[in-house]
Amino acid sequence: MSIGEVLAHLRTDFPDTTISKLRFLEAEGLVEPSRTAAGYRKYSAGDLARLRYVLTAQRDHYLPLRVIREQLAARDREGAGEPAPPGGPRRTGAGEPRLRPALSFVNPRVESAAPERAEGVEGGEIRLSRAELAAHAGIGDDTLVALEQYGLVAERPGGGYDADALEVAMAAARLAEHGLEARHLRAYRAAADREIGLFSQLVAPLAHQGGPAARARAAERVRELAGYTERLHAALVRRGLRETLGR
């Protein structure tokens, strides 16, 4: 495949790929396509898979190219029958190297005592202590520290944690069981910040009109907007999973 054809393939999954980026990734030693007699790049299916690996690692795991290059180099060494580096990725067969999210982060002692869901909790009016939050969500203090560090959970100004903090902590605990650590959830904080920023700017004229009626209308409009973006997001994810998981 030519560089242009590779670009077309990748664009469906990675819309901001460019020819310049593909050449850059080669210059950085992440792929080595063969060449035609005239010097044109010729990408194999393996090269394409390698590029997908690189782009995925960048997007979903925030890895810098240096680290990705080392992972690929380790995989190449293993493939050549040389000894695997200590702690390096294991082989998963003939395919691409696997990005394995670490399984850790849930504290089993606490978890056994935790309820599956917090019941009767909706308003945001509850207040939990730090220890209560951790126990209810089924997470350890180290996890709570990580969640706070990434801005996913925060104490209320008056002190204590509210129902939303609990909701976040509980979701994080379940996701952790499937290998998603607090670090992987940074993107959700960023996405929420973006959405909040957009919404509040859109309704700022209304909200700043002063009256409580205007404020209520602003809040209503935000709920409406949030509903549409939720549907948008869900549809995009459905489509992507259908394509990725086959059929």
Q: How far is it, in rounded angstroms, from Cα 114 to Cα 136? A: 5
Show Cβ contacts of residue 47 under 8 Å, excluding neighbours closer than 6 positions: 6, 31, 32, 33
Among 29, 46, 115, 240, which residue interacts with its own copies (rule: CB under 8 A)? 240
Answer for the pair 6, 48: CB distance below 8 angstroms, yes or no: yes
In angstroms, the CA 18 to CA 113 distance is 51
Cα(230)–Cα(203) distance, integer angstroms:
18
**Nearest distance in Å: CB 91, its own copies:** 13
Among 65, 77, 78, 101, binds its own copies (CB under 8 A): 101
Q: Which does 198 bind (CB under 5 to 8 A by kind): its own copies, DNA, none?
A: its own copies
Residues 189-218 that bind its own copies (CB under 8 A): 189-204, 207, 215, 218
Cα 113 to Cα 90, 135, 153, 169: the distances in Å are: 35, 8, 21, 15
- Span near its own copies by CB under 8 A; candidates 2-10, 27-35, 98-106, 138-146: 98-106
Per CB under 8 A, the segment of 19-27, 127-135, 136-144, 222-230 that binds its own copies is 222-230
User: At its nearest, how many Å lie between DNA and the CB of residue 21?
Assistant: 4
Least Å from the CB of residue 149 to its own copies? 9
Name which of 41 and 50 has its Cβ closer to DNA: 41
**Least separation, in Å, of the C-beta of 22 and its own copies?**
18
**Taking contact as CB under 8 A, which single stretch among the options 28-36, 108-116, 138-146, 151-159 is the one that binds its own copies?**
151-159
Per rule CB under 8 A, is residue 150 in the interface with its own copies? yes
- Binder of its own copies out of 174, 183, 214, 217 (CB under 8 A): 174
| 26: contact with its own copies by CB under 8 A | no
Distances (CA, A) of 110 to 14, 63, 194, 231, 242: 40, 32, 34, 35, 37
Q: Which is nearer to DNA, 23 or 233 (CB)?
A: 23
Interface with its own copies includes 5 (CB under 8 A)?
no
Residue 214: contacted member of DNA, its own copies, none (CB under 5 to 8 Å, by partner type): none
